[in-house]
Chains A and B, each alone.
Chain A
Amino acid sequence: MFKKGLVLRFPAEIVDQPIVWRLVKDFDLSFNILKATILPGKEGIMVMELSGHPKNVSKGLQYLRDLGVEVKTVGQEIKRNEDLCIHCGACTAVCPTGALSVDRETMQVVFDPDRCSACELCVTACVVRAMEVRLEREAL
């Protein structure tokens, strides 16, 4: 499941519309609201996680932008669940930055978070789903 952390800024003229409902209904997305300040007739702000199929997420974001919602992504990071990783190496096929690589001496899969761009390609490439997406909480 593709997940994105978002900061949404709603212009005053559209805060009365059921926008999040449309994301669920029309784009088959699920959401988790982390923070929201939305008052009638005033500009609103909402921090949420939006998840679903990547294609649906990008369609949903386009819908928001077309409405005039300002969309910013919250920084997110990829963590490896060490209990789950079996050190096969399948993730290294898709990692574009070399953050995931195979140590040729030990054949262990090494994860260097400093080189990770949080593109999330490894999340579904991992056969045991050991790569997890987390929002950087301090960014909220």
Chain B
Amino acid sequence: MGEFKVRKTIDEINEKIRRGEAVVVTAEEMVKIVKEVGPEEAAREVDVVTTGTFSPMCSSGAFINFGHTVPTIKAYRVWLNGVPAYAGLAAVDIYLGATEPVEDDPLNKVFPGEFRYGGGHVIHDLVAGKKVYLKAVAYGTHCYPRKEYEAEITLKDLPYAVLCNPRNAYQNYNCAINLSDKTIYTYMGILRPKAANANYATAGQLSPLLKDPYLKTIGIGTRIFLGGAKGYVIWAGTQHNMKVKRTEKGAPLTPGATLMVIGNLKEMDPRWIVGTSHLGYGCSLAVGLGIPIPILNEEVAMYAGLGDEDLFTQVVDYAYDYPNGIKRNYGIVSYAELKSGKIKVLDKEVPTVPISSYVRAKEIAEILKDWIKKGEMLLTEPVAPIPGADLFPFRSSG
């Protein structure tokens, strides 16, 4: 690691955090610092950069054990507030997926469906301390004779409940337009015809994986902010892809890396775990997630200092191209342009619409900064890199 002028280790940074001397800034502040003094000086000054994102994230859900009943039951089908959970795990273990609609939902039969209640809403209700109605049916065995069980449960009463999201924190995402002549209803929001609006879904310069684009500090075991509590990165997320087109500075131009994350549902806050309903598409869960980036050297500082004008995404048609798997884009735009309120597509000015909350992303980065400054959260050394990534050495200073 001789090529770096600044070299820090996690141990050194943690020692500074314990002494209350660590310099912690948000990703937004880091952009300004790197612009003013350059990455080398920024790496000397700053120890930790905090990031954040708050957005509907499909591929989220919770593992729940609802406790053994007397007489015992081996649950075969389970519903929470009428939302089916997956019960094919063990006697009273279930997985509740965020996008599962309530059993009698009219779905898209009268189009566009509203999807007012689903797994994400149940998870939110649990975290908010509300009573949730559980129903289980079984076929009965010698060891588990009971065939039916109904109860009102609360998160507090559950023996075990963890949020375990197979794919969160997408590193970059498409900017969606609709080139057809009818309004379409997508997971990217409502897209009016003839490219009347362009929706985008990333917090740009605050977004965790855009600030460590090669995952050189974020790995398996990294402690993060998840749903208002401390959670962990446990693996790459589904659809994780490191081999994507990048800018000269390393920022991906398309959806890239993803993370699988876990955290104790019982410690979470309903402000950061919110059920969502997407017209004509389905239900989901908005998840608050933030990752601290240890500024180990000037290269990490350079990446963490990438601003909205350095981060780009592609404009994709969701009326024809996306559903038909056609890999085509209608231009590359920067997050600075997207945040300005309009972009140029096909020689036309198109208003932009964020569907990820920048305001809440910033709040998460601030909370994380506060936790670290107060010594309530120390940084972690990953136990292994995310598949396809190479971590910087964390212990060795030389």
**Chain A proximity mask over B340-383: 1 for CB below 8 Å, otherwise 0:** 11000000000101111111101000000000000000000000
A:46-103 near B, CB below 8 Å: 53, 55, 86-90, 92-94, 102
Contact of A104 (CB < 8 Å), options: B110, B279, B341? B341
Q: Whole-angstrom distance from the CB of A95 to the nearest CB of chain B? A: 10
**CB of B217 closer than 8 Å to a CB of A:** no
Chain B residues closer than 8 Å to A106, beta-carbon distance:
359
Interface residue ranges of B126-153 to A (CB < 8 Å): none
Residues of chain A at interface, number, CB under 8 A: 21
Q: Out of A87, A94, A104, which one reaches B357, CB within 8 Å?
A: A87
- Cβ of A125 under 8 Å from chain B: yes
Q: Which residues of A contact B (CB under 8 A)?
A: 1, 53, 55, 86-90, 92-94, 102, 104, 106-108, 124-125, 127-129
Interchain CA distance A122-B245 in the complex, whole Å: 36
- By the criterion CB–CB under 8 Å, are B276 and A93 in contact? no
Asked whether B110 lies within 8 Å of A128 as measured between CB atoms, the reply is no
Most buried by B among A104, A127, A128: A127
Interface centre among B277, B340, B357 (most CB of A within 10 A): B357
**B199 in contact (CB, < 8 A):** yes
Q: Pick the contact of A90: B116, B351, B355 (CB < 8 A).
A: B355
In the complex, are the beta carbons of B358 and A107 less than 8 A apart?
Answer: yes
A108 to B357 CA separation, bound complex (whole angstroms): 8
A93→B114 contact, CB < 8 A: no
Given contacts A86-B54, A87-B360, contact A92 B274 (CB under 8 A): no
Question: Cβ of B276: which chain A residues have Cβ within 8 Å of it?
Answer: 127-128
A128–B116 Cα distance when bound, in Å, is 9
Mask, B268-291, CB within 8 Å of A = 1, is: 000000111111000010100000
Chain B residues with Cβ below 8 Å from A124 are 112, 114, 277, 279
Nearest-CB distance from A93 to chain B (Å)? Answer: 4
Which residues from B are CB-within-8-Å of A86? 54, 274, 286, 357, 359-360
Distance to closest chain B CB from A94 (angstroms)? 5
Complex Cα distance, B354 from A102, in Å, reads: 9
Write out the residue numbers on chain A whose beta carbons fall within 8 Å of the beta carbon of B357: 86-89
Q: If the complex has contacts A55-B110, A127-B276, are A102 and B341 also in contact, measured as CB distance less than 8 A?
A: yes
B319 CB within 8 Å of chain A: no
* Interface stretch (choices B159-167, B189-197, B254-262, B390-398): B189-197
Instruction: Specify the main secondary structure of chain A where it touches its partner.
Output: loop
A43–B89 CA distance with the chains assembled, in angstroms: 65
| Chain A residue nearest to B116 in the complex (CB) | A129
Name which of A1, A87, A88, A107 has the most chain B CB atoms within 10 A of its CB: A88
Q: Indicate if B56 sits at the interface (CB-CB under 8 A).
A: yes
Interface status of B339 (Cβ within 8 A of chain A): yes
Name 23 interchain pairs, CB-CB below 8 A, sorted by A: A1-B114, A53-B110, A55-B110, A86-B286, A87-B357, A87-B358, A87-B359, A88-B354, A90-B353, A92-B353, A93-B191, A93-B199, A94-B190, A107-B339, A107-B359, A125-B189, A127-B276, A127-B284, A128-B274, A128-B275, A128-B276, A128-B286, A129-B277
B55 touches A88 (CB 8 A): yes
Residue of A nearest to B363 (CB): A87
CB-CB nearest in chain B for A1: B114
Minimal beta-carbon separation of A113 from chain B (angstroms)? 20
- List the A side residues contacting B192 at CB < 8 Å: 93-94
Q: Which residues of B contact A90 (CB under 8 A)?
A: 189-190, 199, 353-355
Question: Which of chain A's residues have a CB closer than 8 A to the CB of B354?
Answer: 88-90, 102, 107
Residue of A nearest to B106 (CB): A53
Per-residue CB contact flags for chain B residues 303-330 toward chain A (1 = under 8 Å, else 0) read 0000000000000000000000000000
Q: A90-B354, A94-B190 are in contact. List 16 more A-B contacts (CB 8 A).
A: A86-B274, A87-B358, A87-B359, A88-B355, A88-B356, A88-B357, A89-B357, A92-B351, A93-B191, A93-B197, A108-B359, A124-B277, A125-B189, A125-B279, A127-B276, A128-B277
Distance of A101 Cα from B199 Cα, bound (Å):
14
In the bound assembly, the distance between CA atoms of A108 and B358 in angstroms comes to: 8
Which residue, of B278, B286, B355, has the highest number of chain A Cβ atoms within 10 A? B355
